[in-house]
Structure 1
Amino acid sequence: MRADYTTNTKISITESGGWASADADALLFFTTEGEDLESLTDLPEELRAELDRLKRAERFKGSAGEVTVLPAYGRLAAPYVIAAGLGAAPAGRDTLRLAAVQAAREAQRLGLGRLAVLLPEGAFPAEPPRGGTYAAPLAAQGAGGAGAAGGASGKAASVDGVQAEPQGVSGADARTAAGAQPAPQSNGSADERPAGAASAAKTVFTVAEGLLLGAYRIVTYAREAKPRQELAAAELFVQRDALNGEALQAAVAAAEAYAVATNYARDLTNLPGNLLLPSDLAKEAEKLAGQFGIACEVLDEQAIVERGMGALAAVGLGSANPPRMITLSYDGDPSSGEVLGLVGKGVTFDTGGISIKPAGGMEEMISDMGGAAVLLGLLIVVGRLKPRINLRIVIPAAENMPSGTAMRPGDVITTLSGRTVEVLNTDAEGRLILADGVTYAIEKGATRLIDIATLTGAVLVSFADVATSAQTNDDAFLASVLQASIQAGEKVWQLPNFPEYREMLRSTVADIKNAAAHKWAGAIMGGSFIEAFIEDKPWIHLDTGGTAWLWGDRGIDPKGGTGAMVRTLAEYICGAGDGV
């Protein structure tokens, strides 16, 4: 990634007729299981025959995510041909994205930096993940409510709407109170363009996004690390009847924004704790804000205490590296009174404090600022696509360390809201700093709230590292986010939010305690604590405690920081990949 938060990979659009003669290191095409390759007439007969032989021998079946590479033996300008599997037909959008990710990884592994990509024809619809249904919350969206009117009704930088700076009401701002005017349709929308052109734009978006996500490499600090091949260029070949230069370039721009933001969040999450202190996180926010002309406020430890942010101050007491409260303000629609507050947990390293964690695996706690990384990554999308929406992004940042000055179990602290908290577990610190964060977002004008955090280990008990949990007081609001997660291909699942859970956090010496006396429903308890501070505003809690970090590559996600939920929130706000 460059210093201006753009990609090192150049993506271009070309008519498909010249694919086989492209000046590239490898030709890339996509194929389904059992597909007859005779239609690939641009490839020499010998290569088609070899691919057929591999399929018959089941050495390459075209399964989802499967990739094979064949040498061209001088028969083509490119020295190699890459076939990427789409699984059984018809393939969906997630499968196409995965195929592009795996192709990019294999190309880089082999040192192939320039790809000529033949885009597959047809539509690749986005569908809910297998093994469950989103029927209940999506039905709530149809019934209306504070969070209804999803992104499709009003998009910002849309691959269907073409524009980079749209003139309509966008993503989240379309989800305003009842009676809001519908978003005007932009010129060149999917409804006005031929179906082939609309499908091509969506395919371009998905493949470009997948290639850029697959090109991600974790930073290494090894002194003798060898230079690694980057994906320098990808030329996307599109059928002539689908060519619409403006729409396809908008699709590329949106895909680049989403992927760069995700890869940036991955890099930030992977930074060692000694290289990312709370003050460093604040400096990074200021740098991003300066790049995109977004207002940024940083409160130091003295100002945090003076403002009455007792929870954030308490969490930071044990560390030699003091806390920061970071706020970024984006006003993309000054005419609207609606403001979306986004609050991200920024614990740059979490030992657990006095309630210290076990030593095994504690190195993963460099990722405990994963929520903050998502929101700073999202700032790249907002800065580049400029959606028509008002945002207040709040990141409470701290280190949770044990020392003679650290917060103790049994302490009672006073939060920014004035509510008091009995601390039963200093390792339940994320919810404490988020309490001050959501209160500050409300003070800054937020009318609805989404908080995102690597909040609990308990979410792993429920979902392993497969899905992000969601908790809400407004099913219609959540339904819009779930729709966005389907477009993004990220798994999100709703947890219950019954009032009985809040009762379990009732304290005898304070307004609320930060942990229950038992270990039941741990992920829900974390969200229920935060809900006590939202002042009855529409609210969603996203717990990425299982998805923000992986111990090995899986699907489109790499080992280490994943950037989970960057693309879902980008889709919710901007709708750039909507309509598929």
Structure 2
Amino acid sequence: MNVQISYGARSADSAAADAVIRFVCKSELKAAEPIIQPPMDEALRVLYAKGLFKAEAEQTEIISTLGLYPAAHIIFAGYEADRGATGLRLAAASAAKALKKLRADSVQVLLSDRLRETAASLGTAFAASALMEGLLLALHTRHPLKREQSERFMLKEVAFVPYRTAGSAADAALWERGMARGKLHAEGVGYARDLTNLPGNELTPERLAFLAEELAREHDLEIEVIDEWSAAEQQMGGLLGVGQGSINPPRMIVIHYRGDENSEQAWGLIGKGVTFDTGGISLKRAEGMQEMISDMGGAAAVLGAIRVIAELKPAMNVIAVIPAAENMPSDRAFKPGDVLRMMSGHTVEVVNTDAEGRLVLADGLTTAITRGATKLVDVATLTGNVMAALGIEATGAVTNNEELFKQVQAAADSAGERIWQLPAYPEYKKQLRSNAADLKNSGGRYAGAITGGLFIGHFAEGLPWVHLDIGGTAWLDMSRGWEPKGATGVMVRTLVELIVQRE
């Protein structure tokens, strides 16, 4: 995103901006206090009186100034202060959609005294980041591949401008820092979305590894790409088993971020990278299978997060692991009844080849542990079953460590991404017992999201671990809030908040 961001006093020539955004809450409309300018205020209050604009969440009104104001259009966006950072993100996202209608390249965001009070109560830098995230993420949508390629609409300039009273220099520094961080977050999510939206014939495991190498080179990160021959030497039976049915061989991608050379502690972030999932021999139904390009949404989230982490440079060590494979049916494909020996030495009876993500993730966790990870978070479009439980509203979580989960939950709350913890009772593990191996790769339909997560947790070797099932949140059939139709880039910002931790 090449958008230029700034904070400061409003330019004398406001006409330089294509549009102005003014966030409005209901109490302002009811009060007699000025909003922006008498003629515009009167027009807005008339709409409020008629019930046409109520300053509710995600509601906007575009008013043409007809020369009565330096900018051509004013976008009034409703916001609900009691919804915290999520309210700010939603308001900014709705304003962004109005900007897109106007094809406005440059915008001034007027920060009223009330809005700045809300920001201060949340943490000014945090609130500024939330506003910038909502604004930029709502504009970022899928860019289709067409013969006549059009340019994706993007903002060129965004200025946050204190309105009515100016803030202090310290306040300005907080707004500037928050804006810059919000822009970085949006770039990381946009990167993940673009990766996930790539068609399966373009994004093979080898291509994903190449893009990861480009990312590592750009940010001066250490990267190791394990091909099928090295994977065989390291006995990655899960990764190889899933990938053996495809002409496109699997890859295990390992990226190291070293922010504290004196610490032996390291986060292990593991993202499922199944670049296309047909279900293998246990073939999926044809309807909707094209959306299985999103089955590497976990890998995209981890890569998007490591991109932001490398920019922010926290004093933490992170090992990002992407087990990448393509699950295809063929004469070489693994099949129900096969027994795979995993990298950890455990054996797994395959009862369903469509439960493949947990197999590659099992080797991913072992890879992270052997590289020095001391606490683990995996992100995966693991099950459709999680949607039966939570719909598309929340990411499901399974853990073996409540303290670690609380950290992940707090990070998700800061990011405005919903996570719901699923129970991990010992009785669920009984569903994974096998007569042919140490365990089987599916416990059946009942509690499938839980047993799928617990299968992965079996390979955590007792280390603190959280599993995030984004099967319902990584891909949407229609846009909502700041998330577009298609890939959402969910969990990028949660992972960043977890590692970096806001001030």
Q: Same fold (TM over 0.5)?
A: yes
Deviations 1:21-40 (A, max 9, x none): 45200111101124237533
**Alignment correspondent of 2:135:** 211
Name the structure 2 match of 1:27.
Answer: 20
Alignment of 1:210-289 (within 5 A): 210-224=134-148, 226-238=150-162, 239-244=165-170, 245-289=172-216
CA-CA distance at 1:119 after TM superposition: 1.8
**Counterparts of 1:204 and 1:19, CA distance in 2:** 23
Per chain length, whose mean CA-contact separation is higher, i.e. which structure has more relative contact order (CA < 8 Å, sep 6+)? 1
Offset, 1:120: 3.8
Note if contact 2:141-2:485 (Cα within 8 Å) is conserved in structure 1.
Answer: no
Decide which of 46, 50, 55 is 2:43's aligned counterpart: 50
Deviations 1:54-108 (A, max 9, x none): 1111111111011110101011221000001114x54521011111011112201
Deviates more, 1:225-234 or 1:267-276: 225-234
> SS where residue 509 of structure 1 aligns?
coil
Is the 1:31–1:85 Cα contact (8 Å) retained in structure 2?
Answer: yes
Checking the alignment, whether the CA contact within 8 Å between 2:245 and 2:334 is kept in structure 1 is yes
Quote how far apart the aligned CAs of 1:196 are: 5.2
Matched to 2:135, the amino acid is: L
Residues 38, 48 of structure 1: 8 Å contact kept: no
Q: Which residue pairs with 1:543 in the alignment?
A: 469
Partner of 2:326: helix, strand, or coil?
Answer: strand
Give the distance between the partners of 2:117 and 2:320, measured in 1 at CA. Answer: 32
In the alignment, residue 14 of structure 1 is paired with which amino acid?
A: G
User: 2:416 matched to which residue of 1?
Assistant: 489
Matches within 5 A, 1:58-457: 58-87=51-80, 89-122=81-114, 199-224=123-148, 226-238=150-162, 239-244=165-170, 245-457=172-384
For residue 359 of structure 2, give the secondary structure of its aligned residue in structure 1. Answer: helix
Q: State the one-letter code of the partner of 2:87.
A: T
Which residue of structure 1 aligns with residue 494 of structure 2? Answer: 568
Task: Say if 1:124 and 1:569 are closer, same or farther in 2 by CA, change over 3 A.
Answer: farther
Asked if 1:557 is matched to 2:487, the reply is no
Partner residue of 1:137?
none
Match of 1:10 among 4, 10, 17: 4
The alignment partner of 1:276 has SS state of coil
The code of the aligned residue for 1:451 comes to: D
Query: SS of the residue aligned with 2:442?
Result: coil
Partner SS state of residue 274, structure 1? coil
The question of whether the paired residues in 2 share the 8 Å contact of 1:19 and 1:116 is answered with no
Contact 1:288 1:379 in 2 (8 A): no
> Identity across aligned pairs (percent)?
46
Change in 2 beyond 3 A, CA 1:344/1:227: closer
AA matched with 2:414: Q
The answer on whether the counterparts of 1:469 and 1:543 sit within 8 Å (CA) in structure 2 is: yes
SS of the residue aligned with 1:542?
Answer: strand
When residues 198 and 492 of structure 1 are mapped into structure 2, their CA distance, relative to the original with a 3 A threshold, is closer
Looking at structure 2, the residues matched to 47 and 531 of structure 1 have their Cα atoms a distance apart, in angstroms, of 58
Give, in whole Å, the separation in 1 of the partners of 2:168 and 2:337.
Answer: 65
- 1: CA distance, partners of 2:494 / 2:116: 18
Q: Distance in 2 between matches of 1:125 and 1:276?
A: 46
Paired letter, 1:51: L
Greater alpha carbon shift after TM alignment, 110-119 vs 28-37: 28-37
TM superposition shift of 1:121: 3.4
Matched, 1:502 2:420: no
What is aligned with 1:466?
Answer: 393
On the 8 A contact 1:92/1:124 being kept in 2, the answer is no
Question: Matches of 1:562 and 1:54 in 2, distance apart?
Answer: 34
**1:229, distance to aligned residue in structure 2 (A):** 3.4
Q: Classify 1:125/1:27 alpha carbon distance in 2 versus 1 (closer, same or farther; 3 Å).
A: closer
SS in 1 for 2:324: strand
Residue 19 of structure 1 deviates from its aligned partner by: 8.1
**Matched residue type, 1:371:** G
User: SS state of the match for residue 26, structure 2?
Assistant: coil
Provide the C-alpha distance between the structure 2 equivalents of 1:29 and 1:346, rounded to a whole number of angstroms. Answer: 41
Q: Secondary structure at the match of 2:131?
A: helix
2 CA distance for matches of 1:113 and 1:94? 25
Q: Residue 278 of structure 2 contacts residue 329 of structure 2 at CA under 8 Å; is this kept in 1?
A: yes
CA–CA separation in structure 2 for the residues paired with 1:467 and 1:286: 31
Deviation at 1:248, TM superposition (A): 2.8
TM-score scaled by length of structure 2: 0.95
RMSD (Å), alpha carbons: 1.9
Please tell me the residue identity of whatever aligns with 2:67.
Answer: G
Unpaired segments ≥5 residues, structure 2: none
Q: Is the 8 A contact 2:124 2:178 kept in 1?
A: no
Does structure 2 conserve the Cα–Cα contact (< 8 Å) formed by 1:19 and 1:117? no
Q: Partners in 2 of 1:70 and 1:522 — Cα distance?
A: 51
Q: In structure 2, how many angstroms separate the alpha carbons of the residues matched to 1:38 and 1:263?
A: 41
Distance in 2 of aligned mates of 1:124 and 1:530:
45
Show CA shifts across 1:517-555 (max 9, x none): x31100001111011111100000000000000000012
Output the CA distance in 2 between the equivalents of 1:410 and 1:332. Answer: 44
Q: Deviations over 1:195-223 (max 9, x none)?
A: 95984433322211211112202111122
CA contact (8 A) 1:308 1:416 kept: yes
Distance 2:286 2:211 in 1: 29
Which deviates the most, 117-126 or 246-255? 117-126
| Contact kept in structure 1, 2:244 and 2:333, CA below 8 Å | yes
Name the amino acid aligned to 2:69: L
CA deviation digits over 1:113-139, x for unaligned, max 9? Answer: 11110124357899xxxxxxxxxxxxx
Instruction: Check conservation: 1:412, 1:510, Cα contact below 8 A.
Output: yes
Q: How many residues end up aligned between the 2 structures?
A: 499
3-state SS of the aligned residue for 1:541? strand
Cα offset, 1:246, TM superposition: 3.4
**TM-superposition CA deviations, 1:222-263 (whole Å, max 9, x none):** 224554532111110125224434333221221111111011
Q: Secondary structure of 2:127's match?
A: helix
Could you say what secondary structure the match of 1:318 adopts?
coil
- Tell me the amino acid that sits aligned with residue 143 of structure 2: V
CA distance in 1, matches of 2:361, 2:152: 39
Aligned partner letter, 1:39:
E
CA offsets 1:477-499 (integer angstroms, 9 cap, x no match):
10011111111111100001111
- The whole-number CA distance in structure 2 between the counterparts of 1:301 and 1:277 is 14
Deviates more, 1:424-433 or 1:74-83: 74-83
Letter in 1 for 2:497: E
Amino acid at match of 2:6: S
**Matching residue of 2:458:** 532
Gaps of 5+ in 1: 1-6, 127-194
The code of the aligned residue for 2:60 comes to V
Q: 1:539 to 1:562 in 2, by over 3 A?
A: same
